[in-house]
Amino acid sequence: MHHGINTMEANMTKANVGFIGLGLMGQGMAANILKKGWPLSVMAHRNRAPVEALVAEGAKEVRTPREMAEHCDIVVLCVTGSPEVLAVVEGSDGIAAAGRPLTIVDCSTSDPSVTTKLAADLARKGITLIDAPLSRTPADAAAGTLDVMVGGAEDEVRRVWPVLECFAGRIIHTGPTGTGHTMKLLNNFLSMGYAALYSEALMLGRKAGLEPEIFDSVIRGGRMDCAFYQTFFRWVLDRDPNAHKFAIRNGFKDMSYLAAFANAAGVANPIGAAVRNSFAQAVGAGRGEDYVPMLSDFVAEANGVK
């Protein structure tokens, strides 16, 4: 079920869509849903600017998740993680409080064990929870070219597919609810792992008098080059602060979710633990708001090199 789902029939009557979490990723996603002609409701969090921009384009503003759930058939969440998802869904003014059947599409990077339990709890209330975490960048969110990993029953995934297509270039159905979030954690384990590896390698190189430019000239174009490497090195070499707008504290959160998953599964993940610790040290030193490529500076400074 990768492509070829008939979106024509699905588009005949466009469902009311709600969107909660207009952050770096969310605002671009919501704008694309609106642009493709879906009736959209939005809600402000801390920053009113994205809400006002979307309302100017025809979105409707609501005050609470409950109010959104009262007139939306599909609600997309793009919040930080599991605690925020639970607050939005189960809070006193949450989605579930509206007491009507709808589908929640959770695009955040959450703890899979929390997702599967929440899905079971919600199913008893007639609410479907689908996990649809994202890969790529805020620029891709704005361009509508995100990668989406979606977990859920086939018929339920089919129902939300046309909404996902508004902001996704590639959609992969990973299996039942929870598998999307698990795959996303594995995806982030690889990328955060690379970030920790690059940072440590650069620091060791610097100790030996190897400039980052020399390091890069050996790796770039070779077998260890990749898109994530190139993004990371846009900060290392060009000092582009927008190279990868993903906070170190979020990398730490994701690696902590992976650790929880490994603990629940009763397995050893020594490399995951090491990567988590690299991020934990940066967060503990007050660098959590820095973006991921800036981990290279922290590791260098911690070892007395510039």
Output the domain CATH number for residue 235: 1.10.1040.10
**In this structure, what token pair is assigned to residue 207?**
């100790």
The overall average pLDDT reported for the chain is 94
The one catalytic residue among 184, 245, 253, 306:
184
Residue 252's pLDDT band (cuts 50, 70, 90): very high
Whether residues 134 and 261 fall in one domain: no
Residue at token pair 């694309």: 32
Residues in the chain: 306
Using a 10 angstrom Cβ sphere, with 0-12 exposed, 13-18 middle and 19 or more buried, the burial of residue 231 is middle
* DSSP helix, strand, coil percent of the chain (3-state; round to 5): 55, 15, 30
Whether residues 88 and 198 fall in one domain: no
Strands 134-135 and 146-151: antiparallel
- In the prediction, which pLDDT does 11 show? 47
- In the prediction, which pLDDT does 8 show? 45
Whether residues 152 and 52 fall in one domain: yes
Whether 184 is a known active-site residue: answer: yes
The predicted model scores a pTM of 0.85
Residue 7's pLDDT band (cuts 50, 70, 90): very low
Residue 134's pLDDT band (cuts 50, 70, 90): very high
| Contact status, residue 79 vs residue 20, Cβ threshold 8 Å | yes
Alpha-carbon distance of 283 to 295, in angstroms, equals: 10
What does the pLDDT look like over 39-59, one tens digit per residue?
A: 999 998 888 999 999 999 999
Residue 148 lies in domain: 7-176
Sequence-ordered alpha helix ranges (H) in 111-226? 112-123, 138-143, 154-167, 179-207, 212-219
E strand segments, 8-66: 17-20, 40-42, 60-61
**In this structure, what token pair is assigned to residue 60?**
């409707």
Question: Final residue of a domain: which of 176, 199, 214?
Answer: 176
Residue 10 has pLDDT above 80, yes or no: no
Question: Final residue of a domain: which of 111, 146, 176?
Answer: 176
89 lies in a domain? yes
Report the run of H or E that residue 70 belongs to, with start and end: helix 65-71
Q: Report which of 73, 13, 63, 78 is spatially closest to residue 40, judged by C-alpha positions.
A: 73
Residue 133 has pLDDT above 60, yes or no: yes
**In this structure, what token pair is assigned to residue 58?**
């025809």
Whether residues 50 and 140 fall in one domain: yes
Whether residues 58 and 21 fall in one domain: yes
Alpha-carbon distance of 209 to 100, in angstroms, equals: 64
Whether residues 170 and 122 fall in one domain: yes
- In the prediction, which pLDDT does 186 show? 96
DSSP code, position 223: T
Rg (CA), the chain: 20
- In the prediction, which pLDDT does 13 show? 76
Whether residues 93 and 131 fall in one domain: yes
| Contact status, residue 165 vs residue 29, Cβ threshold 8 Å | no
Alpha-carbon distance of 277 to 125, in angstroms, equals: 40
